[in-house]
Amino acid sequence: MGPPKPPATATKAGRTISQEAFDDLVKENIEDLDMDPTEALQDAIQTLTLQGVDLTGIVTCVPGEGGGVKANPVIQCLDRLKQLGSDLDEMVELLDKLAELCGVEGSGNAAIATKNGGVELVCSKIRSGGEQVLASALKALASLLHDLQSTEIFRTSGGPTTVVCILNDNCQNVDILNNGFSVVAAASTGNEVLKESFMELKIGELIMQILSDPSGQSKGSIQSLYDAIRILLTPDDNRVVASQVYGYARRFAKIGIARALVDSLHAGLSSPGLVSASIALKAIAVNDEICKSIAESGGIDAVLQCIDDSGEQGNKVVARACCSLLSKLAGSDTNKTAIVEKRGMDRLIKLSARFSDDPSVLQEVMSIITVLSLRSPENATRAIEAGAGDLAIQAMEKFPAAQQMQKNSCLMIRNLVARSPENRTLLLGNGVEKYIRKAKQSHQSCKDAATDALRDLGLDNYNL
């Protein structure tokens, strides 16, 4: 018979336990059941896990051995920060150490810090000194905010107002801006209430001010600013039925952020923020009006130029990001025409030739051609003339295991032939049917797209 169950608290995420109760269980295993310390610890972990107790944030060590919980570097760091007076150099050192510890993926250190008051502590210390303390405190805070519990503590500790005030007061300090927007991004992830808080604090206007900085010293160097835009516009809080992020995207576009991001794209591959700016701009492009306004600001020209450059320089990351953005912009019929008139089909097929060994780029090219060809036999003809049919057949033959690429190829083929009988004849004559059927048999995710492609190719047995 084992020791009695320790007290645990029920939460939505499951049952939790205090550090003290965990330590007591390990002690009982040692003292009452004569287990050796290692066995006692493992038994406690296993017993609690089987009972459905969430051990996140618990320091799982033998009490007293080697200093016990107090020997944990995160706990030591927090304890020293609590005791610290006015020694700003040591405060910076401790905050940097905390950021480093909590930034180690899979370590559980951020959860331990959160469970032991780390978020409240850093929020209380954040204005204790000059710019270096601010930068280090923001960096530590960003590393602590890792789940809903930590972001809620940040919210109730007045975090949003504090951080936005710091950003407004330090618009020329790149370190503070980078770390501050990292906090905005981390805090807003999965938390609709915090997204709303930041929007109410006019974070959009602040972002616009920084992007419009005439000195240009911040542009491109603040990666986290682009991350913050993307996350503020992502509906990722599963507690909310109807997210407000669509409205936020329209507001960002209205105050000029989309136009400012297009300016960032004009810097081309020399800009370190190019990929992040592309992803952020895609998040803002939520309707036809915004997509057209991006084109009117020179967005299509900028993206096509970046696509050309990415092919020449062999930069697949830029190629994927810019293709993904162009695909979103192509959702507007006006933009479809503009992309095709700017030799978009030829430029995309040229890119696919440059990256013929990378299905992750090929599937993005196919995605754009799919959008461009939707309900447009003229564009479908232009795509075939540029080489889209050959791209589909060669890629499907070469990468049979690339599920998403196979699916995108089927979707593209369907739009190429749906309203163009001559394209059907051409593709069937080139043997496309067998590759579609193979994709349908090999990948469950391709089944519907492949069936639709076979049907629109005019094949009677498309369901087989």
67-125 tens-digit pLDDT: 788 889 999 999 999 998 788 999 999 999 999 999 999 899 999 999 999 999 999 99
For residue 5, the SS3 value is coil
Range 144-154 average pLDDT: 97
pLDDT for residue 5: 44
Give yes or no: residues 366 and 334 share one domain: no
Predicted local confidence at residue 460, as pLDDT: 87
The Cβ of residue 192 has, within 10 Å, a number of other Cβ atoms equal to 18
Give domain status of residue 361, yes or no.
Answer: yes
447 & 369 share domain: yes
What the block records as the tokens of 18 is 């205090």
User: pLDDT at position 410, please?
Assistant: 98
Q: What is the pLDDT of residue 65?
A: 75
Q: How far apart are CA 405 and CA 360, in angstroms?
A: 7
**Domain membership flag for residue 101:** no
Q: Are residues 308 and 402 in the same domain?
A: no
Residues 373 and 325 in one domain: no
Does residue 92 lie within any of the structural domains? Answer: no
Question: What is the chain's length?
Answer: 464
Among 292, 309, 342, the domain-final residue is: 342
The DSSP line for 62-79 is -TTGGGGGGGSHHHHHHH
Same domain, 267 and 337: yes
Q: What is the dihedral of CA 368, 370, 371, 375, to 10 degrees?
A: 150
Give me 287's structure tokens. 């309707």
As a dihedral over the C-alpha atoms of residue 138, residue 144, residue 148, residue 150, rounded to 10 degrees, the angle is -90
- 380: tokens are 């479908």
Whether 187 is in a domain gets the answer no
| Mean pLDDT, the chain, whole residue set | 93
DSSP code, position 331: T
Q: What is the C-alpha to C-alpha distance for residues 126 and 142, in angstroms, rounded to an integer? A: 12
- Can you give the pLDDT at residue 85? 78
User: Of 48, 71, 94, which residue sits at a domain end?
Assistant: 71
321 in the same domain as 384: no
pLDDT of 463 > 60? The answer is: yes
What is the pLDDT, as a whole number, of residue 1? 40
The answer to whether residues 318 and 406 belong to one domain is: no
Instruction: Kindly tell me if the per-residue pLDDT of 18 is higher than 60.
Output: yes
Let me know whether 368 and 286 are in one domain. no
DSSP-based three-state secondary structure for 9: strand
Q: Is the pLDDT of residue 220 over 70?
A: no
- Residues 361, 462 within the same domain: yes
Looking at 71, 88, 120, the residue that finishes a domain is 71
Are residues 391 and 450 both part of a single domain?
yes
pLDDT band at 268 (very low <50, low <70, confident <90, very high): confident
Are both 337 and 367 inside the same structural domain? no
- Mean pLDDT along residues 377-389: 97
- The C-alpha angle with vertex 315 and arms to 310 and 316, in degrees rounded to 5, equals 105
For residue 134, tell me if it sits in a domain: no
Q: How many domains are contained in the chain?
A: 3
The domain in which residue 402 lies consists of 357-464
- Same domain? For 460 and 370 the reply is yes
CB 104 within 8 A of CB 113: no
- Cβ distance 267 to 306 under 8 Å? no
* pLDDT in the model for residue 271: 85
Interval 240-268 mean pLDDT: 95
Name every residue whose Cβ is closer than 8 Å to that of residue 425 and which is 6 or more positions away in sequence.
none
The pLDDT-based confidence of 6 (bands split at 50, 70, 90) is: very low
Query: Within a domain: residue 411?
Result: yes
Confidence (pLDDT) at 284: 98
Q: Is residue 294 part of a domain?
A: yes
Quote the pLDDT of residue 443: 97
> Has residue 188 been placed in a domain?
no
Residue 7 neighbours by CB under 8 Å, 6+ apart: 17, 18, 21
Burial class (CB in 10 A: 0-12, 13-18, 19+), 115: buried
How high is the pLDDT of residue 121? Answer: 96
pLDDT for the residue 237: 97
